[in-house]
């Protein structure tokens, strides 16, 4: 992978995530990264292709982060506490790998692309599916029924922190609610 290509993806990801996709033009990405326009269009056929690469990069980054966080959990109860405490760190900008918290990049992206069957939306859906699978893999067979509800709670925490700001009780409520579900 070319260094310039990677730089373009990283810069695009940061700008798209921080300001929204339609709000950022390719010229902005070029100016910020210091890469020439010709170089961008030799690596990507369009802004949309660059966005797809950025989504994939964010997907890999987030899944790696999530797996590394959950790897410390030794039982189902710990999975929920570790999960929501990791999210709390993210909301508080104490997870440098994830960058400044601006909600979920994939949820934000879905808000900007209405065609549910386009490539972009498919990537977003696949991301959520993978997140769910990572969590499912960490839970014992007894609690597989609760994976969906746990994920819904997680999504709710992310958007609530984004829209309403992180309430001190937010994560506490999530942990209480999720542990009430565990058998």
CA–centroid distance for 98 within its chain: 8
Q: How far is the CB of 9 from DNA (least distance, A)?
A: 12
Q: Quote the CA–CA distance of 27 and 43 in Å, as a whole number.
A: 15
Nearest approach in angstroms of CB 30 to DNA is: 8
Q: How far is CA 63 from CA 97, 136, 181, in A?
A: 11, 13, 24
Q: How far is Cα 64 from Cα 62, in angstroms, rounded to an integer?
A: 5
Measured from the CB atom, is 35 or 170 closer to a second copy?
170
- Count CB-CB contacts under 10 A for residue 101: 19
Q: How crowded is the C-beta side of 162, counted as CA atoms within 13 Å?
A: 16
Q: Does 68 bind DNA (CB under 7 A)?
A: no
Q: Which does 181 bind (CB under 5 to 8 A by kind): a second copy, DNA, none?
A: a second copy
Q: How many C-beta neighbours within 10 Å does residue 173 have?
A: 15
By CB under 8 A, name the binding residues for a second copy: 18-20, 22-23, 102-104, 106-114, 116, 124-125, 128-129, 148-149, 151-160, 162-165, 167, 169-170, 173-174, 176-177, 180-181
**Cβ at position 53, least distance to DNA in Å:** 13
Stretch that binds DNA, among 10-18, 21-29, 84-92, 168-176 (CB under 7 A): 21-29
* Backbone φ and ψ of 92, nearest 5°: -90, 10
Closest separation in Å from C-beta 42 to a second copy: 27
| Cα-to-chain-centroid distance, residue 4 | 24
Tell me the closest approach of the beta carbon of residue 81 to a second copy, in angstroms.
15
Rule CB under 7 A: which residues touch DNA? 2-5, 24-28, 34-39, 41-43, 45-48
């Amino acid at each position: 992978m070319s260094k310039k290509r990677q730089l373009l993806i990283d810069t695009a990801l940061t700008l798209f995530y921080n300001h929204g996709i339609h709000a950022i033009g390719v010229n902005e990405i070029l100016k910020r990264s210091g890469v020439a326009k010709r170089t961008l269009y030799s690596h990507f056929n369009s802004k949309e292709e660059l966005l797809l690469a950025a989504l994939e990069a964010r997907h890999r980054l987030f899944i790696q982060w999530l797996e590394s966080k959950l790897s410390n959990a030794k039982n189902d109860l710990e999975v929920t506490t570790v999960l929501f405490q990791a999210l709390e760190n993210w909301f508080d900008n104490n997870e440098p790998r994830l960058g400044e918290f601006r909600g979920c990049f994939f949820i934000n992206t879905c808000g900007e692309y209405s065609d549910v069957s386009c490539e972009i939306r498919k990537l977003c859906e696949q991301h959520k599916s993978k997140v769910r699978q990572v969590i499912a893999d960490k839970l014992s067979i007894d609690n597989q029924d609760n994976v969906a509800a746990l994920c819904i709670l997680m999504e709710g925490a992310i958007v609530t922190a984004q829209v309403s700001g992180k309430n001190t009780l937010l994560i506490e409520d999530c942990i209480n609610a999720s542990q009430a579900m565990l058998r």
